[in-house]
């Protein structure tokens, strides 16, 4: 079974608008961490934001916020005030707490920001 | 800024040849990962090291792939013999501690003809 599901292969957004990228996860481990990474056309994966399963508040990092809904097992990334430089692939990842801490990645969502 | 350094950036080789990819993790990081990215399979874990000890290589084809960390500043991924289906981008990533965010290298684009 897929541990991380990103259902949107591609998304389009107008510059300066907000956009939400979906991510659902599957785990029975009470301790886990959720990550979002950005992969621009240059290829290098860049860490954006992290949410721990016990964190009470939704994580925020500048224009990025993570909408964490634990009961629904969703960890959507919200990008506010989109910029042309936000055009990239976005990957959701989860690591479980059971000792190995190996991150598993979703298939990614391609985001294109239109001027 | 500290970076994960991968070499080579691009490699074109013929089927049957040996391929060696190298990675210099960020100094002080104690976890190192090798991932392979393809359109069909996405990002697949190949190998995971913690404090230079191999902890997981279950995703790696053992008959042709091998991963090592001869010292804390070098991780290697070897394919021998290479096959066309090995064509992919291979990423190395390191982390300060297990479970924390990863820093990725720029990847090695491998084409096996």
Tell me which chain B residues have a C-beta less than 8 angstroms from the C-beta of A46: 104
Cβ B77 vs Cβ B7: under 8 Å: no
Predicted pLDDT of residue B56: 86
pLDDT of residue A1: 63
**Partner residue facing B45 (CB), from A33, A43, A102:** A102
Task: Name the residue of chain A whose CA is nearest to B32's CA.
Answer: A102
B105 contacts A44? CB cut-off 8 A: yes
A60, β-bridge pairs? A65
In 3D space, the residue among B78, B33, B80 whose CA is nearest the CA of residue B54 turns out to be B33
Report CB contact under 8 Å: B89, A100: no
How does pLDDT run along chain B (113 residues), one tens digit per residue?
A: 789 999 999 999 999 999 999 999 999 999 999 999 999 999 999 999 999 999 988 889 889 999 999 999 999 999 999 999 999 999 999 999 888 999 999 999 999 99
List all residues 6 or more positions away from B90 whose beta carbon is below 8 Å from its beta carbon.
Answer: B6, B21, B34, B35, B36, B37, B46, B77, B107, B108, B110
Three-point CA angle A4, A67, A24, nearest 5°? 15
User: In a structure prediction context, what are the per-residue pLDDT tens digits for chain A, which is 115 residues long?
Assistant: 679 999 999 999 999 999 999 999 999 999 999 999 999 999 999 999 999 999 999 999 999 999 999 999 999 999 999 999 999 999 999 999 767 789 999 999 999 999 9
For chains A and B, what is the number of CB pairs under 8 angstroms? Answer: 46
Chain A environment of B48 (Cβ under 8 Å): 100, 102
CB-CB under 8 Å, B93 with A107: no
Residue A54 in contact with partner chain B when CB distance is under 8 A? no
Per-residue pLDDT tens for A16-47?
999 999 999 999 999 999 999 999 999 999 99
Residue reference for tokens 């040996």:
B18
Is residue B35 within 8 A of residue A97, CB to CB? The reply is no
CB atoms A102 and B56 under 8 Å = yes
Contact B101 A91 (CB under 8 A): no
Nearest to B107 among A43, A95, A104 (CB): A43
Exposure letters A40-63 (e unless 16+ CB within 10 A, then b): eeebbbebbbbbebeeeeebeeee
pLDDT of res. B2: 87
Which residues of A fall within a CB distance of 8 Å from B89?
43
> Given this model, what pLDDT does residue A100 score?
73
Residues 6+ apart with CB under 8 A from A62: none
- Contact (CB<8Å) B102/A44: no
Q: Per residue in B10-45, is it b (16+ CB within 10 Å) or e — as a string?
A: ebebeeeeebebbbbbbeebbbbbbbbbeeeebbeb
Peptide bond into B8 cis (omega under 30): yes
pLDDT of residue A84: 97
Q: Cis bond leading into B66, ω under 30°?
A: no
Question: Using the beta-carbon criterion (under 8 Å), do B89 and A46 form an inter-chain contact?
Answer: no
């Amino acid at each position: 079974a897929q541990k991380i599901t990103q259902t949107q292969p591609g998304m389009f957004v107008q510059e300066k608008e907000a956009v939400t990228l979906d991510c659902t996860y599957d785990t029975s481990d009470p301790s886990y961490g959720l990550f979002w990474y950005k992969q621009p056309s240059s290829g290098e994966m860049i860490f954006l934001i992290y949410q721990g399963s016990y964190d009470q508040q939704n994580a925020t990092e500048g224009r990025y916020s993570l909408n964490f809904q634990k009961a629904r097992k969703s960890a959507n990334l919200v990008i506010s005030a989109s910029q042309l430089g936000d055009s990239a692939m976005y990957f959701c990842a989860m690591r479980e707490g059971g000792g190995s801490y190996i991150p598993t990645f979703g298939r990614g969502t391609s985001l294109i920001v239109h001027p | 800024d500290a970076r994960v350094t991968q070499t080579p950036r691009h490699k074109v080789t013929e089927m049957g040849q040996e391929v060696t990819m190298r990675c210099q993790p960020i100094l002080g990081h104690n976890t190192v990962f090798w991932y392979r990215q393809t359109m069909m399979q996405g990002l697949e874990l190949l190998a995971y090291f913690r404090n230079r000890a191999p902890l997981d290589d279950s995703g790696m084809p053992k008959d042709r792939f091998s991963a090592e960390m001869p010292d804390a500043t070098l991780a290697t991924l070897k394919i021998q013999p290479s096959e066309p289906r090995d064509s992919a981008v291979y990423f190395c990533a390191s982390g300060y501690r297990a479970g924390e965010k990863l820093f990725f290298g720029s990847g090695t684009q491998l084409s096996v003809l």
